Amino acid sequence: MATLKVIEVLAESDKGWDDAAQKAITTASKSLHGIRSIWVKNLNAVVVHGKITSWRMDCKISFQLDGEG
């Protein structure tokens, strides 16, 4: 069985939740490989004059450690 590590990251987008999640994965994959999953812990949004201007999430990303699996 593979051993995985989990990191916590914050991501933000001016387009929506799915874009924020993709940004988290895209950014994390620049320094990590073997990413297996993303778990979104918390969601929040910034509202200005009655409109959402940015979507934010706190998420955990799991990845396989080198030499495992």
Q: Domain with 24 in it: what CATH number?
A: 3.30.1660.10
> If the chain, 69 residues long, is cut into consecutive pieces of 10 residues, what is the mean pLDDT of each piece?
91 97 97 95 97 98 84
Give the closest residue to 40 by CA, choosing from 25, 51, 54. 25
Structural domain contains residue 59: yes
Please report the pLDDT score of residue 68 as a whole number. 61
Structural domain contains residue 16: yes
Structural domain contains residue 40: yes
Structural domain contains residue 21: yes
Give the closest residue to 26 by CA, choosing from 69, 59, 55. 59
Please report the pLDDT score of residue 3 as a whole number. 87
Structural domain contains residue 14: yes
Please report the pLDDT score of residue 29 as a whole number. 96
**Residues of the domain holding 54:** 4-64
Strands of the sheet containing 4-13, edge to edge, are: 4-13, 51-64, 35-48
Total tally of structural domains belonging to the chain: 1
Please report the pLDDT score of residue 62 as a whole number. 97
Please report the pLDDT score of residue 58 as a whole number. 98
Structural domain contains residue 32: yes
Amino acid at 3: T
Please report the pLDDT score of residue 10 as a whole number. 97
Structural domain contains residue 69: no
